[in-house]
Amino acid sequence: MLAVGNRSQSHIKKNLSVSSANCFKFMKSTAMRKTRIFSAVFSLFLLVPASIIWAQTVTQQKGLTTTVFNLPQGIIKVYLPDDIRPGDIISGSFVLEPSGGTEKQRQRSLDDLLKTKLKIGEPVTVSETIQPLSQRYQVGSVASPLERITISSQCNISLIDGSNKMITSAIELRPVQPETISPSSGCIWPSHALTGSPVPVKGSFDGDLGTTRCTIGTQPATILAESPRACVVSFPETAKGSQTTQIRENGQEPCTRQIAGVDLQVTTGRLNLRKGENTFIDVKVTGLQNLPDKAILTITNMTPNVVTMTNGNLQVIPIWPPADSAGGTFSVLCPAVSNSTGNFSVNINLDLPQPGATLTAAEDCPPGYKRLSCQCNATVAITKSGNSLKAVPKAECKGQYGVGINTFPVCSVLSVVYGWGV
């Protein structure tokens, strides 16, 4: 079986959290912006309860399995690949967010967090996967790397504190599949990525993020997690507009691609409101030039009892590719009115087209838009040497593809995926 790779969808999320209590105070959460992986959080004097003792959650999106441990001393986030399979060599990273209102309090909390250890997987020898965070922590880094791990038939992740108290979460493993991305195909980057967020890059990797090097523009980029089939890169917040990316696996020839850094900014109107008074939320997206298909912006009011958004508490807005390559900016103004005092939260999600998804059907495109598809074909040559077989796939794509009016991306081979059958 041979298939030529194309596109998929990636979920990108930003949050706007607001508190209404007669007086609003607006501030950007600097702690989250330093370690932002999935979102930038904006708060208006957000009132939150005390930390939940020894709570944890596990989520999977954008190439990552994220386990969040919520402790009295702060939060520990652990990033692993989302496609772990039995027998894989994988690696991941972690982020520490110490609690405290002053620098002294935060330092004390950080010291306590660094006394904890992580145990990942079910190894033959336990010492292989018990990793003291104090030995792995890198001050000032986007995320601190963990040692690579060999996964057996199951994968659990446990946090052990200084008194040997342990909490464990199970990570779901994917079934083993024969499909392989040919190393000769290089790497598969999306055409667009949100700044300050993870970007999954498909390819042939050894599972050890310590042997992978990546640059975006002129900046080194942090590898958050890696499996044999993909690595997840932290896309820098400053990498806006067209960027040249380069990723090199374990000293091999680098894979170079062009990618557009998409920036999402959220601002608000008047914040010092009384019940019944109006304000607005302004969402602006830039860097959408040469978008190959529509993006989806979803704005959800999570607390309609506290505030009402005039245009609807759930707004799903398609962002179609600009009519020409000079475009690339989209904005929407969301009026809102205060219903009562209290906390309210608005989630802002951006879905960008990524390698692997099916293009929007022609009948679903707006007037004036058309849908073009690549003309691709693939062949494979199989050679035998002794008892070994070797497959050398070759593919080519011609034409233009995507949904648009006048401007379309040029077709090229992103990957060759093949499966063995005897």
51-79 residue pLDDT tens: 334 566 788 888 899 999 999 999 999 99
Which residue intervals of 275-349 are DSSP H helices? none
For 364, the 3-state DSSP assignment is: helix
Closest Cα partner for 132 from 118, 146, 142, 121? Answer: 118
Residue listed under structure tokens 């009016």: 405
Q: Does residue 295 lie within any of the structural domains?
A: no
Whose tokens are 């590898």? That residue is: 223
- Residue 189: CB atoms within 10 Å: 25
Task: Answer yes or no: is 206 within a domain.
Answer: no
pLDDT at 163: 81
Domain membership flag for residue 402: yes
pLDDT above 80 for 17? no
Domain membership flag for residue 34 = no
Q: Is residue 384 part of a domain?
A: yes
The answer to whether the CB of 2 falls within 8 A of the CB of 416 is yes
For residues 30-49, one letter each, b for 16 or more C-beta atoms within 10 angstroms of the residue's C-beta and e for the rest, the string is eebeeebbbbbbbbbebeee
What DSSP element (H or E) covers 203?
Answer: strand 198-203
Averaged pLDDT, 230-256: 92
3-state SS assignment for residue 230 = strand
Give domain status of residue 377, yes or no.
Answer: yes
Whole-prediction pTM value?
0.75
The predicted structure's pLDDT at residue 25: 29
Question: How would you class 125 by CB atoms within 10 Å of its CB: exposed for 0-12, middle for 13-18, buried for 19 or more?
Answer: exposed
**Given this model, what pLDDT does residue 11 score?**
40
Q: Is the pLDDT of residue 45 over 50?
A: no
pLDDT higher for 64 or 23? Answer: 64
For 27-34, what is the mean pLDDT? Answer: 31
Structure tokens at 404: 């648009």
Q: How many CB atoms are closer than 10 A to CB 339?
A: 16
Q: What distance in Å separates the CA atoms of residue 76 and residue 82, rounded to the nearest whole number?
A: 18
CA distance 305 to 124: 53
pLDDT digits (tens, 9 = 90+) for 288-337: 988 999 999 999 998 898 889 999 999 999 999 987 666 789 999 999 99
pLDDT at 284 (0 to 100):
95
Q: How far is CA 380 from CA 375, 416, 422, in A?
A: 17, 10, 15
> For 13-22, 73-82, 362-371, 405-414, which range has the lowest pLDDT when averaged over its residues?
13-22
Q: Would you state the pLDDT for residue 91?
A: 94
For the four alpha carbons of 31, 297, 354 and 288, in that order, the dihedral sign comes to negative
How many domains are contained in the chain? 1
| Structural domain boundaries, residue 367 | 362-418
For residue 87, tell me if it sits in a domain.
Answer: no
Backbone angles phi, psi at 49, to 5 degrees: -75, 170
Residue 403 neighbours by CB under 8 Å, 6+ apart: 292, 293, 294, 320, 321, 359, 360, 365, 369, 370, 371, 372
Q: What are phi and psi of 382, to 5 degrees?
A: -110, 125
Residue 133 lies in a domain: no
Q: Please report, for residues 40, 162, 188, 216, 380, the alpha-carbon distance to residue 165 in angstroms, rounded to integers and kept in the order given.
A: 32, 7, 42, 41, 54
Sole residue written with tokens 């109107």: 269
